[in-house]
Amino acid sequence: MKTFARISLAALLCVGLAACASKQEVKPAPEVAPPPPPAPVQTAPVSNGKFTPADLETNACLLKRRIYFNFNRANIKPEYDDIVACHAKYLVDNPGARVTLQGNTDPRGSREYNLGLGERRANSVEQAMEALGAQADQFTVVSYGKERPVCNEMTEACWAKDRRVVIVYTKTE
């Protein structure tokens, strides 16, 4: 009988405590706004609709001459599409212009691998510009692989700066 009384008392206490427990309100996580899209790059010339050699030194888009890549990738990051399009338009507007596309990599990997990756990166920029109307004879592709680093720290942020193609105008018209 004492066992029954103890069990009954324990059950009664559990029910009482459960009834007294406060309800905790579940708050939804605050909504996080997506990051704003990058500011549009001025891709059009301001004069008669065609780029001129003078625009290479004044146009905000044409002043950007580095295209960056992800680790071990040769495809252009989407955020650089506007810059590629801008330079392609310059080449279309100025058929006598010539560029050298210099492919670069970070220091990881063998010399041979990085030379090949740098070349694939430069070729991907060339192909993108040709798809937008530039002519194949306007390009020279060179790979420096890991031979021309812009940063010498052993960090991912530093290595990201080395994974690039540099657009160098060798003849502006």
pLDDT at 49: 87
pLDDT at 61: 96
User: Would you kindly state where each structural domain of the chain is located, as residue ranges?
Assistant: 40-171
Range 40-171: architecture per CATH: 2-Layer Sandwich (3.30)
If one compares 8 and 161, the residue with the highest pLDDT of the two is 161
In the predicted structure, residue 6 carries a pLDDT above the cut 90: no
* pLDDT 10s digits, 133-147: 999 999 999 999 999
* pLDDT 10s digits, 79-99: 999 999 999 999 999 999 999
Global pTM value? 0.72
Q: What is the dihedral of CA 42, 47, 48, 54, to 10 degrees?
A: -90
